[in-house]
Copies of this chain bind each other. A is one copy, B any other.
Amino acid sequence: MEELSNNKCFDGEQLRFSHKSSTVNCEMQFSVFLPPQAKESSVPVLFWLSGLTCTDENFVFKAGAQKYASKYGIAIIAPDTSPRGKGIPDDVEGAYDFGLGAGFYLNATEYPWNLNYQMHDYINNELTKLIEKEFPVNLDRCGIFGHSMGGHGALCIGLKNPKRFKAISAFAPICSPINCSWGKKAFKNYLGDDEDNWKNYDACELVLENKAVQQPVLVDQGSDDEFLSTQLKPELLEKAFNKAERSLQLRMQNGYDHSYFFIASFIQDHLRFHRDNL
């Protein structure tokens, strides 16, 4: 693991690293915020998953989370959104919604994507183990959150691994990828034609499949989000939670769009939510 940068921020440390991943078979970058409390003892930890086209850095620069992570004493890990680098396959047309920057946080089964696009296992296994080894974090107090495609990722990885992730939150998540064009394109390519296999990475399906799990879940959605009705569809998530008789805190935020200006406006609430539930 190589340290790429280190900046003091809100009395804590904003760090960036590169490491060779055996799960996705390439060099991967990730960012870590360590609050000042981490100098004294191990701290709770949150994984942030970013959306389409992002790297690990968008959240670090734009969300303004460090202030509250510092105040509440929480570490934040921000992985990249896909494998990257020479030889990593990408969408043939270089589209923003598939391939590089669009890993959809799943384990691909179809060639050639299966050689690298194993983002679920990268985050849930390899990166988590590395974080535990290298930083003073307490994995018994671990949450996950994200935005858009990363909101889908947070919901899926969180719902699939409830013993690891004690709380889940999301900004404008893709709530049911099997029911929108972004998800259908990605799942068809990564997972093949059998749509039954797609359900394994659909938050609405996962909620219904595992009703006994009762992690707290918070979702914020802007009412003026350009992708609201075509790609995100929070009403499907609400319906699934209702059907499973599980609690979902879904907040429609009037006038907000899909940008990081929306995320920054409510990031404090998400940090507080995780603090209170970890």
Give the interface of A toward B (CB within 8 A): 7-11, 14, 61-62, 64, 66-67, 222, 224, 255-257, 259-262, 264-265
Complex CA gap A66/B261 in Å reads 9
What are 13 contact pairs spanning A and B, CB under 8 A? A7-B259, A7-B261, A8-B255, A8-B256, A8-B262, A9-B265, A10-B264, A11-B265, A14-B261, A64-B64, A66-B265, A67-B264, A67-B265
Shortest C-beta distance, A87 to chain B (Å), equals 32
Copies of this chain, whole number: 2
Bound: A12/B182 CA distance, A? 31
A257 touches B8 (CB 8 A): yes
Provide the bound-state CA to CA distance between A224 and B255, in Å: 41
Q: In the complex the two chains form, what is the Cα distance from A80 to B15 in whole Å?
A: 29
Chain B's closest residue to A254 (CB) is B8
Q: How far is the CB of A193 from chain B (nearest CB, A)?
A: 39
With the chains together, A260 CA to B14 CA distance in Å? 11
Q: Report the nearest B residue to A6, measured CB to CB.
A: B257
